[in-house]
Copies of this chain bind each other. A is one copy, B any other.
Amino acid sequence: VRTGNGYDVHRLVEGDHVTLCGVRIRHDQSLSGHSDADVGFHALTDALLATCGAGDIGDHFPPSDPQWRGAASHIFLSHAKAVVEAKGGRIMNADVSLICEAPKIAPHREAMCAEIGRLLGLERDRVSVKATTNETIGFVGRREGIAAIATASVAFGEDR
C-alpha cells in the first residue's frame, strides 16, 4: 500500500456560495479560482496522483488552459482515479480535512462523502471528510481563504 498527500488553498472573495467536496453550499463569500475552486477535491486529486508518482493536478489540468475555466472539479478527481487504476491501483481509502472558519461542514458531510464515494467507487467507511477551524488565526482564521489536506491510500498489485 502506498499513501499520498494533497494540500490546496483557494482565496475567499465576494460571493454567495462555495463548492467543497462536490457540494455547493450557500455562503457569504465565494472561493476564487480557475475551476470551481473546490479545495477538497483538488487536494484529494493530488493525493491520488501521488500514490503512483503521476505529477500533480497542475500538470494534468493547467490553470492556463481555458477549457478548465469554471470546470466542475469532479472531472479532476475522476481523472486521478483513472490514472491510479490504469497503473493497477485499487483505492483503499480517501480522507479530506477542510480547514475553514465557515461555512459549517458537518451538515454537508454525508453529501460530501456520498459524492466522493460515488466518484471513486468506495464504500462509505472508506471515505472521510473532516472539518476544523483555524481558531480565528492565520489566513484561514482571517477568512482570507479555505485550505484542505487530503490523504489517499492505494494498493498496487506488486506491493505487499
Contact = CB atoms under 8 A, between A and B. Distances in A.
Classify chain A's interface size: 35 or more
Contacts of A132: 7-9, 46, 56, 58
A133 B145 CA distance: 13
A28 interface: no
Contact of A55 (B4, B7, B109): B109
B4 A127 contact: no
A102 interface: no
Interface of A: 1-11, 32-33, 46, 49-56, 58-59, 87, 90, 92-93, 95, 97, 99, 106, 109, 113, 124-128, 130-139, 141, 144-145, 149-151, 153, 155, 159-160
